[in-house]
């Protein structure tokens, strides 16, 4: 149970003299929504506040325990606080229909389907959401009603640059001057460009807008935040604040090896934090033992850790879930095939791919592990040291630059300055890296006919459909294979056949990562690819600990694990959080046999 005492506030830097607009941004699962909600509650004590969510995996309504929806709703439990949830998926659907509706029935169905797919990616969702909340940034009448407007997500620098580009986007697309992975969505913008210009100016004005970068004390997450900062700084948005959320308290490390390991890893990540982040005002928020749902929990987030957790010493969490070894047994039974690991950044795809590859090789099965791990530490650890295992590394930056150069030299050769600017921005899309990296992977895929090929990352279903629809994917694989025609079984057909390809979705036992994994599964199904299984990584519930805080966190995982097991996955495995970083053959195999 929880024993509540007084609530002395933490010294929160990002709350000092806040401007009208506060934007929280960061990777999924770092706590953006919770911090935005807690900020709104804190500021509501001083005046009228409006909390806006544009996060595709948003759970603002769930956090407050009320239904909000796409209209301004008073939160009766908090005086002077109102909320609005912009459903980005619904906004994107309306957005697509504005473009596709007029040509449906006039153009061939295959053409309409291609247009719809071009408009089904993450860029469309983000641009559609920005189209919705632009009015909140420029509506002076609304500003008179609310002292502060808090957003639980922010547009990326890529989206903002797209909106800043000159010229007529529609004509650019209609003339076929570029691959419409990101430019296509711009064809449906209906608001005046002047309004977008005013919105972008508001974002770049520190007297009106403050962007708060939210991270966890993890190397990959901090690197991502640093990239976000640099991307936004290029376009003049540079007045950021940094929040390191969920820091493990040293007080919980006594006589508990797992707690000590978590604390040490976090401190090491903070010590190695990118230098650019050290220049930012930074707040540290401690990890809480409870789910941040409900008013009482949210009020605790921005305060000192004042709730003392009382746990009976025999309290434990027992999870009856398959281990990773069970999935590997099924995979190994086929003797060869393509194994693809997918999931959002920071969930451990590379490590798990290496673990499975090592185990298959240990069983005497020839295996090729291909990784995009930027640190390449797994590659260095494994190269030449594991019998039956071949390891290769693909450098995403090198492959993306090669692809960009190829497109600019061909499609861009005949473009005017305006068209070239549009094409160059389109090539900064996240889809571009997926396409470039997967073209590099395609050189290796054919090896799966006689051995296991394990890939530690893969493009989304949306990108695969774009590649398949344009023929670029098939042509690239055929060219790399030295053939002039397409295979009898195309690469897309191979990915759709679970006998040849097994797609494993990696997630964490937390609300947002599971929601993002569900969205990924739906994305793949749209491409006709059924995920073979799920892996829940770094589970505290599957680990051994006596820490009161970790025991409470383990309890919070149970619902997410149950949802994966009974609602989302045909088969799944639960992998425990280890005391030591799983690098090297022995520790990697301990993920298989914990």
pLDDT in tens, 376-399: 566 666 655 789 999 888 888 898
The single residue of 29, 412, 419, 461 carrying the catalytic annotation is 29
pLDDT at 19 over 90: yes
pLDDT-based confidence at 45, cuts 50/70/90? confident
pLDDT at 402 over 80: yes
Predicted pLDDT at 196: 79
Annotated active-site residue 34? The verdict is yes
Q: Which residue has the tokens 């596709």?
A: 100
Predicted pLDDT at 519: 87
pLDDT at 447 over 60: yes
Among candidates 512, 513, 503, which has minimal Cα distance to 536? Answer: 513
CA angle 362, 363, 367 (to 5 degrees): 70
Predicted pLDDT at 3: 34
Among candidates 356, 336, 360, which has minimal Cα distance to 533? Answer: 356
pLDDT-based confidence at 330, cuts 50/70/90? very high
Whether 573 contacts 321, CB under 8 Å: yes
Predicted pLDDT at 382: 66
Predicted pLDDT at 184: 55
The single residue of 26, 27, 33, 228 carrying the catalytic annotation is 33
Predicted pLDDT at 124: 77
Average pLDDT over the chain reads 81
Percent of the chain predicted with pLDDT > 90: 33
The single residue of 25, 26, 34, 373 carrying the catalytic annotation is 34
Annotated active-site residue 344? The verdict is no
Whether 360 contacts 332, CB under 8 Å: yes
pLDDT-based confidence at 320, cuts 50/70/90? confident
Predicted pLDDT at 177: 42
Annotated active-site residue 32? The verdict is yes
Of the two residues 177 and 419, the one the predictor is more confident about is 419
Give φ, ψ of 395 to 5 degrees.
-85, 110
The single residue of 124, 512, 539, 548 carrying the catalytic annotation is 512
Domains and CATH numbers, the chain: 2-309 (3.40.50.300), 324-592 (3.40.50.300)
Whether 33 contacts 55, CB under 8 Å: yes
Annotated active-site residue 512? The verdict is yes
The single residue of 27, 55, 125, 367 carrying the catalytic annotation is 55
pLDDT-based confidence at 484, cuts 50/70/90? very low
Predicted pLDDT at 310: 39
- Average pLDDT of span 561-584: 93
The single residue of 26, 28, 31, 419 carrying the catalytic annotation is 31
| H/E element, 444 | helix 430-445
Whether 181 contacts 431, CB under 8 Å: yes
The single residue of 32, 177, 411, 502 carrying the catalytic annotation is 32
pLDDT at 316 over 70: no
Distance of CA 468 to the CA centre of its chain: 24
CA angle 78, 84, 86 (to 5 degrees): 155
Of the two residues 184 and 286, the one the predictor is more confident about is 286
How far CA 369 is from CA of 344, 363, 390, 440, 529, in Å, comes to 19, 15, 6, 13, 21
Predicted pLDDT at 554: 92
Q: Which residue has the tokens 């247009």?
A: 115
pLDDT at 563 over 50: yes
- Average pLDDT of span 250-265: 92
Distance CA 488, CA 497 (A): 14
Whether 57 contacts 512, CB under 8 Å: yes
Distance CA 260, CA 272 (A): 18
pLDDT at 582 over 70: yes
Annotated active-site residue 31? The verdict is yes
Beta-carbon count within 10 A of 211 CB: 23
pLDDT at 169 over 70: no
pLDDT at 26 over 50: yes
């Amino acid at each position: 149970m929880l024993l509540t005492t007084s609530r002395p506030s933490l010294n929160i830097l990002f709350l000092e003299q806040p401007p009208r607009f506060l934007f929280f941004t960061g990777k999924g699962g770092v706590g953006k929504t919770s911090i935005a909600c807690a900020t709104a509650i804190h500021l509501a004590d001083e005046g009228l506040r409006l909390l806006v969510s544009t996060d595709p995996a948003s759970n603002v309504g769930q956090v407050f325990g009320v239904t909000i929806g796409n209209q301004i709703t008073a939160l009766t439990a908090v005086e002077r606080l109102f909320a609005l949830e912009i459903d980005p998926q619904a906004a994107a659907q309306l957005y697509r229909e504005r473009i596709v509706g007029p040509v449906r029935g006039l153009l061939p169905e295959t053409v309409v389907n291609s247009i719809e797919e071009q408009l089904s990616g993450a860029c469309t969702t983000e641009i559609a959401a920005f189209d919705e909340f632009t009015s909140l940034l420029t509506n002076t009448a609304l500003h008179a009603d609310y002292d502060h407007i808090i957003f639980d997500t922010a547009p990326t620098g890529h989206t903002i640059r797209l909106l800043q580009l000159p010229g007529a986007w529609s004509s650019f697309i209609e003339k076929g001057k570029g691959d419409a992975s990101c430019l296509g969505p711009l064809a449906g913008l209906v608001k005046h460009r002047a309004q977008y210009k005013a919105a972008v100016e508001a974002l770049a004005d520190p007297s009106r807008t403050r962007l708060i970068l939210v991270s966890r004390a993890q190397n990959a997450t901090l690197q991502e935040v640093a990239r976000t900062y640099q991307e936004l700084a290029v376009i003049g948005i540079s007045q950021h604040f940094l929040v390191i959320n969920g820091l493990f308290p040293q007080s919980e490390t006594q006589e508990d090896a797992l707690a000590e390991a978590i604390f040490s890893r976090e401190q090491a990540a903070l010590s190695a934090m990118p230098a650019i982040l050290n220049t930012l005002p930074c707040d540290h928020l401690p990890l809480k033992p409870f789910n941040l749902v409900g008013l009482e929990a949210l009020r605790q987030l921005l305060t000192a850790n004042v709730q003392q957790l009382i746990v009976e010493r025999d309290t434990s969490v027992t999870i009856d879930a398959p281990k990773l070894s069970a999935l590997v047994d099924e995979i190994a039974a086929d003797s060869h095939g393509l194994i693809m690991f997918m999931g959002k950044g920071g969930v451990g795809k590379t490590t798990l791919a290496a673990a499975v590859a090592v185990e298959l090789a240990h069983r005497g099965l020839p295996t090729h592990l291909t990784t995009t791990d930027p640190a390449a530490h797994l590659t260095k650890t494994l190269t030449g040291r594991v019998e039956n295992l071949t390891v290769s590394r693909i450098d995403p930056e090198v492959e993306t630059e090669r692809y960009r150069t190829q497109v600019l030299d061909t499609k861009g050769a005949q473009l005017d300055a305006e068209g070239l600017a549009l094409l160059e921005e389109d090539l900064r899309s996240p889809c571009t890296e997926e396409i470039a990296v997967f073209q590099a992977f395609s050189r290796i895929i054919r090896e799966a006919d006689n051995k296991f090929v394990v890939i530690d990352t893969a493009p989304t279903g949306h990108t695969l459909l774009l590649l398949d629809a344009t023929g670029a994917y098939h042509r690239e694989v055929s060219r790399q294979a030295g053939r002039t025609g397409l295979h009898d079984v195309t690469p897309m057909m191979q990915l759709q056949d679970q006998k040849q390809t097994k797609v494993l979705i990696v997630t964490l036992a937390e609300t947002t990562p599971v929601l993002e994994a569900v969205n990924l599964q739906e994305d793949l199904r749209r491409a006709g690819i059924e995920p073979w299984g799920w892996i829940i990584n770094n589970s505290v519930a599957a680990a051994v600990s006596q820490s009161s805080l970790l025991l409470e966190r383990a309890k919070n995982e149970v619902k997410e694990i149950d949802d994966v097991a009974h609602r989302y996955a045909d088969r799944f495995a639960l992998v425990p959080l280890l005391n030591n970083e799983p690098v090297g053959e022995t520790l990697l195999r301990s993920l298989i046999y914990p």
